[in-house]
Amino acid sequence: MALISTNHSHAQERNITVSLPDNTELELVYIPPGSFLMGSLPDELDRHGDEGSVRNVTISKGFYLGKHELTQAQWKSVMSDNPSVFCNFADSDVHPVDNVSWNDAQRYIEKLNTLDIGTFRLPTEAEWEYACRAGTNTRFYWGTDSAGWQTRKYAWVFPYSEGRSHPVGLKEPNDWGLYDMSGNVWEWCQDWRSSGYDAADTTDPAGTSEGIKKVYRGGSWFNKPSTLRSANRNGHEPDTGGGTNSGFRLLMEVE
């Protein structure tokens, strides 16, 4: 595990790079602890009812989060196969892995955690939104963008995505240096999807204890700009692959 440079303002914050099998690198960004308003206010444009009530959420422990969505090369280095539909481009190795279910992501993480590299998991929905917002409270992490004109600068989104995923890291990052938190592929979270949030302030929420669908966040190349809002929620049954626009981003716990 090698330390690399960071542009975060706090001295204890740092990015790291870990080596997966076959010397495939995985870059991770340190996300510091803090508090944020999770969800969207009733007057947010294109808001859905399951994005409230807005609540103050405290993330009590820092964590590392993938600088990018997990790529096909990073999947193959651990699993020795590739479930992706978009796997026939010359640069497919640096496209996000796609066509993975929540259960597939768990199988990857289970195998990764046997390699003595670190303790990995999917982010909770609260951790994901906290990292996505990166200190913002607007519709998108780049601003309110009511007409959606700025999405092309920050995200692969319909109708500008050419009907497919693209290599990670080509768009502008959020303020914490995370790329493609909106667009490219949906990202699975750990939680079961709920119908909304309890309004009470909370610390490190982990979602409901049971459900039918698992949460995924961020929108994809297939979706219109409003779907890429930081508060937008979606989900699917955990054994459903989700087709060409479902992937994930790894969280590594600080030990």
CA 147 to chain centroid, in Å, comes to 24
pLDDT higher than 70, residue 5: no
Domain total in the chain: 1
Mean pLDDT of 19-44: 97
Residue 73 has pLDDT above 50, yes or no: yes
Domain that holds residue 36: 2-253
pLDDT-derived band at 230 (thresholds 50, 70, 90) equals: very high
Which pLDDT score is estimated for 243?
A: 80
Mean pLDDT taken over the chain = 93
From CA 105, how far away is CA 69, in angstroms rounded? 12
H or E stretch including 111? Answer: helix 102-112
Reported confidence tier of residue 13, pLDDT bands at 50, 70, 90:
low
pLDDT attached to residue 255: 84
Distances (CA, A) of 106 to 1, 49, 179, 193, 250: 22, 29, 22, 17, 11
Q: What is the mean pLDDT of residues 93-113?
A: 98
Q: What CATH number should be reported for the domain holding residue 82?
A: 3.90.1580.10
d(C-alpha 62, C-alpha 191), whole Å: 19
pLDDT at 241: 73
